[in-house]
Structure 1
Amino acid sequence: MSLTPTTVVHADLASFVSFGEALTDMIRVDQGHWRSRSGGSPWNVAIAMSRLGQLSAFAGGISKDLFGQAIWQASADASLDLRFIQQFAKSPLVAYVHQLDPPAYAFVGDDSADLHFRPHALPAGWRRALRWAHFGSISLTREPLAARLIALAESLKDEGVRISYDPNYRMSMDSRYDRTLERMCRLADVIKVSDEDLRGLFRSRDHHLGLAQISAWNPRAIVMLTLGERGAQLFHPKADLSAAPPPLDHVVDTLGAGDVAMAGLLYSLMNGGTQDPEDHLRWAVAAGAAACAGAGVDGLSAGLVTSLIDQVQVRRAEMA
């Protein structure tokens, strides 16, 4: 890996690192037309955290071709700590998004660059600087990467690092994923799931069954349940809460909104001290709304989110 002349090298190592995959989304616009966009749930979370003002890094492998270079440049533009990105002369990981509402994906990436990520090659001293590590998505289904990341999450937890987890359900997460799901839920401090995630992960039409199982595995975890246009619920040791998103004149794009909501929650938890769980949920829902309004991950800012926070109404949760 080499740094380009325009690379910004941070004086300090990142205190927040999101581990997993960065990929290229090929989004179907209409019959026969597609557009590409850099993405991947863990990468989106890292970008959103940086846009909100947290010293942030994405740790993963990307290709050296034009797709990988686009991810590298977008990471640099978002002021990520680029020392955590590893580039390999391997094929890119690509997600074909053939349907947006709800999103439907097909992934292509045999022996692709993401699988060659090596935690031992991260910059010296990175563990001492780390306060929070995020994991999830298809990286935890793709061997040999998955085994490395799970072992890393467990070792970081043992060192006192806080862990967040977003399974981000995809079709490859069948019964073979059950053990990983349980392991990650048991060690995570914060878990984010959608109602669709729960139905897929637990193979049940009733997403409440999945919520109950996660609670049984880890009753101390903070769990955020995202419900699309209906907002989100937060199950916190201090309170169970529900919030509706602020009214938006126009929803431009919902792709990645869940990742941005996760970043809003994590940013608030990392920087909000002992503030009430209501404030953490407001941050999450306002961030997701900001993404849907057209800002996406790239146009996100703390100022934009705070302008929407007062419009988020929080109440005691009623089971959705």
Structure 2
Amino acid sequence: MKTLPRRIVGTGLFALDVIVSPDGAVTHTALGGSAGNVLSILAALGWNASPMGTLGNDVAACKVRDSFRAVGADLEFMRRSSDRCTPVIYQHQLASHEAGTHRFSFACPTCGQYRRPRWDDATAFCEDLSTLPPARVFFLDRPTPLGVMLAEHYRGAGSLVVFEPSASGDDAHLFARAVRSAHVIKYADDRMDDLSDFDTRTVSIEIQTCGSRGLRFRAPSLDNAWVALGAYELPHVGDTAGAGDWCTAGLIYDLLDGSSSDSGSFDYKALTRALAFGQALSTLNCLTEGAQGLLEAWSPDKIVRSARKLRTLRLRSFFKEKANPSSCIHEPKLEEFAEDSRLRGTLERSGADDFACCLPL
């Protein structure tokens, strides 16, 4: 891979998350969407981040942009338009975790209005691709015309392209182009079975997350054999929202931390280290509430140090103690971290940041 700045450029879902408590009260708002989470997490951890997309001219857009500014993101390519609404996602917290910790909806719980995303802004960005910033990584979370166009551009420019779809969508040709452009593809097993219908010969790493069972990955450098990594046993579950986004951000952060490796040459140890770091970040965030609760509870330095500590202990069990990598992990250090009142404190927030469901967003 070329020597490029430690910058991530990304497009996809940038939204305002609205957390609704089990009693129906709006308790918190935050930047959300997969692309929004991955880019803002990496920005908070010290990367340069450039989100690309179009928001509305509304209150939700102001909150999204303010959140990106707070972590130092470059907003030159985050545009606004009066012909659309900024997506708003309502995250309804569930009183019982038997069916999960939350459910998502685009419908306002008060008025029923929907503020869904639109994907018709490709022409606004394709006039002069030479003006786009160089980046170490390009991220897309769905096969939109803009996302695929940019993925092809950035792959050609030497960037690592990370594609994290939640579904193949209605356009198989567009999805196939996204797959061909990607070096890394990550998807959840409850959303997609596999990529057997698509040509993955240009894909360097395929990752399938499996919820509470952990994840598995494969790569041409490993003869395309699946390798499983089990999940941590959580001392308590605050909220699983954003878990996959933290794992992705951790993978990118660690895999390219000072690495000058070609995008297709990551070996077993490098991939295991990076994914174990991503799983540690994901696990820590599950102790909090909201997709970015960990950033509200701990400083970026503490987050990275804690995840690295968990990763070190885990790799020691793999490589020295010969533990089964696919087994669930009971880690006393995680229990120690979970006792931090700042993590549990995020579960008790109140006040909606001056946000009301039915504001003219």
Task: Specify the TM-score bucket, using the shorter chain as the normaliser.
Answer: 0.7 to 0.9
Please say which structure displays the higher CA radius of gyration.
2
Q: How far apart are residue 55 of structure 1 and its match? A: 1.8
Paired residue type of 2:182: A
* Partners of 1:48 and 1:122 in 2: CA distance: 28
How far residue 95 of structure 1 moved from its aligned partner, in angstroms, is 2.4
Selected match of 1:184 from 178, 193, 206? 178
Instruction: Show the 5 A alignment for 1:225-304.
Output: 225-239=208-222, 240-271=226-257, 273=259, 276-294=270-288, 296-297=291-292, 298-299=295-296, 301-304=303-306
> What whole-Å deviation, never above 9, does each CA across 1:253-309 have from its counterpart, x for those lacking one?
110110110111111222252562221221221121122122853345322321321
Aligned twin of 1:61: 54
> Which digits, 9 at most, give the CA deviation of each residue in 1:154-198, with x for residues without a partner?
2222232221100023xxx55x24333322122210011111121
Q: Which has the higher helix share?
A: 1
Q: Contact 1:244/1:285 (CA < 8 Å) preserved in 2?
A: no
The one-letter code sitting in structure 2 at the alignment partner of 1:21 is: L
C-alpha deviation, 1:317, in angstroms: 6.1
Which residue identity is paired with 2:161? I
2:15 corresponds, among 23, 27, 40, to 23
Question: Which SS does the other structure have where 1:80 is aligned?
Answer: coil
Q: Is this contact kept in 2: 1:26–1:34, CA < 8 A?
A: yes
Q: Determine if the alignment matches structure 1 residue 109 to structure 2 residue 115.
A: yes
Q: Which residue, 163, 166, 176 being the options, matches 1:165?
A: 163
Verify the 8 A CA contact 2:18 2:91 in the aligned structure 1.
yes
Alignment RMSD: 3.1
SS of match in other structure, 1:185 = helix
Long gaps (5+) in structure 1: 1-11, 141-145, 199-206
- Does the Cα contact within 8 Å between 2:91 and 2:102 map onto a contact in 1? yes
Q: Which residue of 1 is the match for residue 139 of structure 2?
A: 134
Q: CA deviation at 1:122?
A: 9.0
Distance 1:280 1:228 in 2: 18
Change (3 A) 1:307 1:88: farther
Q: How many residue pairs were aligned?
A: 283
TM-score by length of 1: 0.76
Conserved? CA contact 2:102–2:239, under 8 Å: no
